[in-house]
Amino acid sequence: MKLLRYGPKGQEKPGLMDDTGTLRDLSAHVDDIAGDALTPDGLAKLAGIAANDLPAVDGDPRIGPCVGRIGKFICIGLNYADHAAESGMPVPDEPVVFNKWTSAICGPNDDVEVPRGSKKTDWEVELGVVIGKPGRYIDEADALDHVAGYCVINDVSEREWQLERGATWDKGKGFDTFGPIGPWLVTPDELGDVGNLKMWLEVDGKRYQDGSTATMVFGVAHLVHYVSQFLSLQPGDVISTGTPPGVGMGQSPQVYLKGGETMRLGIDGLGEQTQKVVNA
């Protein structure tokens, strides 16, 4: 299934994208793509609904974040060996874990804001993992059973605040609009193997990132297992799993967003995002 949320900010409705590309309304069956709807039982209920029986949504509504009421927005740094190299940092022995504030979350095609005074706003296309089955101290062999689905995330980052303004990455990662999520949450049965997905990002039509999940240092199962050693994972929690090379910080000379650009990014099987960059 491809599950999504559509409508004005703060008023999104649950929806499903059918095999013909028609947006269908799920409001009669679930209140949101969130919480219990993402558990194995919740997803089984949605999978049992015939898409053709759902009302088609007219027009071209705004697409919101594909998950509602996200409790935790957990991110993994330096999880691609080639990105670590371009950043001038060693490949980590264990996953680097940081957070984005949930106020950073926005729709996949909403504007991204360059923060006031920012000099180094950057981009990162990433595979997002959405938790469905709750758990703590999850065995790696069982970790994928806890995944409700996958999505595209742009881990927008302000590098000066991330790397030069103290030791806490979170400061440069959590600005408002720094977490576009979607367009869809794709369930594992539809996506298949996530270990070799092509992923890319362009700015004003120039391809900067052109990588694959095949170069991840730590795979999805290990990340779910690892994170669950420190905190309980709940339905709707999101893990953003790192980025391949090609970020602005890695260019020579470095390239950063100033406002006025258009970012376009995507991952095989998970759809695309397009964001206009504006000044806060």
Cβ proximity of 80 and 211 under 8 Å? yes
Let me know if 6 is exposed, middle or buried by CB neighbors in 10 A (0-12, 13-18, 19+).
Answer: buried
In tens, the pLDDT along 95-146 reads 999 999 999 999 999 999 999 999 999 999 999 999 999 999 999 999 999 9
What pLDDT does 188 receive? Answer: 97
The structural domains of the chain, with segments of one domain joined by +, span 2-53, 73-279
pLDDT digits (tens, 9 = 90+) for 150-162: 999 999 999 999 9
CATH of domain 73-279: 3.90.850.10
pLDDT in tens, 140-195: 999 999 999 999 999 999 999 999 998 789 999 999 999 999 999 999 999 988 99
Q: pTM score, two decimals? A: 0.96
